[in-house]
C-alpha cells in the first residue's frame, strides 16, 4: 500500500498521526479523570489538524487549532471546573450499563468499514502523486461568500442564538 500509492512520506506521517489520534480518542472515552480526558481530546484535535495539513487544507487546519484547541478545550476545562468540586479521579464517570456501548460501537464500525471498503476500495486521493491540488484561501472565501452565502447567514444566526442562549441559561437571576 505504501509504495504503490506514491507519496510515501505523507503515508508514514498519516500512520503515525492516525495511531496517535486513535489512542487519544480511546483515552478520552476511558479516562477516569475529566481533566485528563480533556487533555487527551487536545491530542486528537491536534492530530486532526495535522491530517488536514497532509490533505493540503491549511486554512481548515489553522481554524481547527484556533477554534477547537484554543477555545473549545478551554470551555471544557471551565465546564469541568464549574461543575465539579474535586478535579481528581472519580469512580462514577460511566453508566451502569456502559458495556452496552461496546457492541453498538463495534456494529457501527463494522458497517462503516464494510461500506467504505466496498465502495472506495483502492481509490487514491490524487491519481498522480505529482499534482496534489492546492486550495488557496481565496478560493475558500469565494466559496463562502458566493455559492454558500445563505448557510453562512444561517450560521451567523446560530452563533448569535447560541451566544444569547448561553448567557440566558447560565446567568444567575
Considering only residues 4 through 33, tell me which ones interact with other proteins, judged by CB under 8 A: 5-7, 10-11, 14, 18, 21-22, 25-26, 28-29
In the numeric block, the cell 489520534 is attached to 21
What are the two backbone dihedrals, phi and then psi, of residue 6, each rounded to the nearest 5 degrees?
75, -175
Residue 91 engages other proteins in binding (rule: CB under 8 A): no
The nearer residue to other proteins, 99 or 130, going by C-beta atoms, is 99
State the cell numbers at 74: 478551554
Residue 46 engages other proteins in binding (rule: CB under 8 A): no
- Count of residues in contact with other proteins, rule CB under 8 A: 95
The nearer residue to other proteins, 88 or 109, going by C-beta atoms, is 109
The whole-angstrom separation of Cα 137 and Cα 122 is 30
The nearer residue to other proteins, 88 or 98, going by C-beta atoms, is 98
Residue 50 engages other proteins in binding (rule: CB under 8 A): no
Query: At closest approach, how far in Å is the CB of 88 from other proteins?
Result: 14
Residue 87 engages other proteins in binding (rule: CB under 8 A): no
152's CB contacts (< 8 A; 6+ apart) are: 144, 145
Amino acid at each position: 500500500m505504501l509504495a504503490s500509492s506514491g507519496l510515501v512520506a505523507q503515508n508514514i506521517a498519516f500512520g503515525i498521526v492516525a495511531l496517535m489520534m486513535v489512542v487519544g480518542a480511546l483515552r478520552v472515552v476511558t479516562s477516569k479523570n475529566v481533566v485528563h480526558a480533556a487533555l487527551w481530546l487536545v491530542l486528537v484535535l491536534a492530530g486532526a489538524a495535522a491530517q488536514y495539513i497532509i490533505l493540503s487544507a491549511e486554512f481548515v487546519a489553522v481554524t481547527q487549532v484556533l477554534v477547537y484547541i484554543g477555545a473549545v478545550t478551554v470551555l471544557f476545562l471551565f465546564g469541568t471546573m464549574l461543575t465539579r468540586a474535586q478535579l481528581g479521579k472519580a469512580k462514577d464517570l460511566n453508566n451502569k450499563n456502559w458495556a452496552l456501548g461496546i457492541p453498538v460501537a463495534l456494529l457501527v464500525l463494522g458497517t462503516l468499514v464494510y461500506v467504505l471498503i466496498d465502495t472506495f476500495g483502492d481509490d487514491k486521493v490524487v491519481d498522480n502523486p505529482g499534482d496534489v491540488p492546492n486550495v488557496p484561501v481565496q478560493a475558500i472565501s469565494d466559496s463562502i461568500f458566493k455559492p454558500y452565502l445563505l448557510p453562512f447567514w444561517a450560521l451567523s444566526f446560530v452563533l448569535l442564538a447560541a451566544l444569547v442562549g448561553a448567557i440566558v441559561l447560565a446567568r444567575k437571576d
